[in-house]
């Protein structure tokens, strides 16, 4: 009988102990474990690289504007002139795959007038204007003056821009070269800064590359009338290319350690 009472007492104690351990967790388990602070040491450095590059692409944008009483007449007149222009620049050495249409617009032209009786201003349709703009992209940089002169002499009455730039292939080549130099420049700066501190680079944590910096093309704007265009036959248009400054940066976070 006593043994049964002893077993019952022990069982009750165990049940109470288990219940308390569930309801009231121990102090050690209740405490939030604070993560061990990181001892990783880093240095952030921005490297730069720049160079001058000779352009290998010539871009020209020019066109023909015509105005007639009807849209059909304006388009026909424009098309006739533009066909002459295309033939002329092809004769100057430009191939058809170097020519593309930038825009073709047809829009009405109105003139404003004031009614004598009411004094109100009204608009009257006086015709239609057609504007056809061509782009020429070529690696024949020396033909810039010939292209402009031929185009204007054959009917072009607006020249929007002429500039020299980098072709996509050369752009990529220069970009890859400069990015590598910028990263090496960042590493060199970090090593020079760490040397007197008796630290050295042991790894790389982060790298951020900037966009390739190339100055916007400097277009030469011009407007011509037909009389000026004919006069240009005896005086070639002077057009010169120049080297372009290009640059890039790379920010590198190095992991460092003591010597």
Give residue-wise pLDDT tens across range 232-243. Answer: 455 666 776 778
Query: What 3-state class would DSSP assign to 134?
Result: strand
pLDDT at res. 119: 82
Report which listed range, 24-28, 175-179, 202-206, 219-223, is most confident: 202-206
The answer to whether residue 9 scores a pLDDT higher than 60 is no
Task: Say which CATH topology domain 57-165+219-239 has.
Answer: Alpha-Beta Plaits (3.30.70)
| Rounded alpha-carbon distances, angstroms, from residue 110 to 66, 67, 113, 117, 227 | 15, 12, 10, 21, 26
The domains of the chain are located at 57-165+219-239
pLDDT in tens, 68-106: 999 999 999 999 999 999 999 999 999 999 999 999 999
Query: What 3-state class would DSSP assign to 43?
Result: strand
User: What is the rounded CA–CA span in Å between residue 159 and residue 152?
Assistant: 8
Residue corresponding to tokens 């015509």: 66
Contact 210, 250 (CB under 8 A): yes
Report which listed range, 160-164, 223-227, 252-256, is most confident: 252-256
pLDDT at res. 100: 96
Name the more confident of 254 and 212.
254
pLDDT at res. 160: 93
Global pTM reads 0.66
pLDDT in tens, 114-168: 888 888 888 999 999 999 999 999 999 999 999 999 999 999 999 999 999 988 8
User: What is the rounded CA–CA span in Å between residue 146 and residue 93?
Assistant: 9
- Among 178, 199, 181, 179, residue whose Cα is nearest residue 190: 199
User: What is the rounded CA–CA span in Å between residue 13 and residue 155?
Assistant: 109
Q: How much is the average pLDDT of 230-256?
A: 77
CA angle in degrees (0–180, nearest 5) for 89-94-95: 120
pLDDT at res. 78: 97
pLDDT in tens, 30-72: 444 444 445 789 999 999 999 999 999 999 999 999 999 999 9
pLDDT at res. 65: 97
| Rounded alpha-carbon distances, angstroms, from residue 199 to 11, 44, 98, 259 | 64, 14, 57, 5
User: What is the rounded CA–CA span in Å between residue 185 and residue 48?
Assistant: 6
DSSP 257: E
Q: How much is the average pLDDT of 1-7?
A: 50
């Amino acid at each position: 009988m006593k043994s049964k009472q002893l077993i019952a007492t022990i069982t009750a104690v165990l049940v109470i102990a288990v219940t308390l351990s569930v309801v009231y967790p121990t102090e050690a388990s209740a405490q939030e474990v604070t993560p061990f602070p990181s001892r990783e040491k880093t240095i952030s450095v921005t490297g730069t690289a720049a160079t001058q590059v000779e352009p290998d692409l010539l871009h020209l944008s020019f066109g023909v504007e015509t105005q007639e009483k009807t849209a059909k007449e304006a388009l026909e007149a424009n098309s006739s002139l533009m066909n002459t222009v295309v033939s002329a620049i092809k004769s100057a050495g430009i191939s058809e795959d170097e020519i593309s249409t930038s825009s073709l617009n047809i829009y009405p032209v109105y003139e404003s007038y004031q009614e004598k009786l009411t004094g109100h201003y009204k608009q009257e349709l006086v015709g239609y204007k057609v504007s056809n703009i061509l782009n020429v992209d070529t690696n024949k940089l020396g033909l810039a003056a010939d292209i402009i002169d031929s185009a204007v002499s054959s009917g072009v009455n607006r020249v929007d821009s002429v500039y020299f730039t980098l072709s996509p292939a050369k752009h990529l080549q220069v970009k890859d070269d400069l990015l590598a130099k910028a990263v090496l420049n960042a590493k060199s700066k970090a090593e020079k800064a760490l040397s007197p501190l008796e630290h050295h680079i042991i790894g790389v944590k982060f790298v951020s590359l900037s966009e390739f910096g190339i100055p916007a093309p400097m277009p030469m704007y011009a407007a011509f009338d037909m009389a000026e265009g004919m006069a240009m036959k005896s005086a070639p248009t002077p057009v010169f290319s120049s080297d372009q400054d290009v640059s890039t940066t790379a920010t590198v976070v190095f992991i460092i350690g003591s010597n």
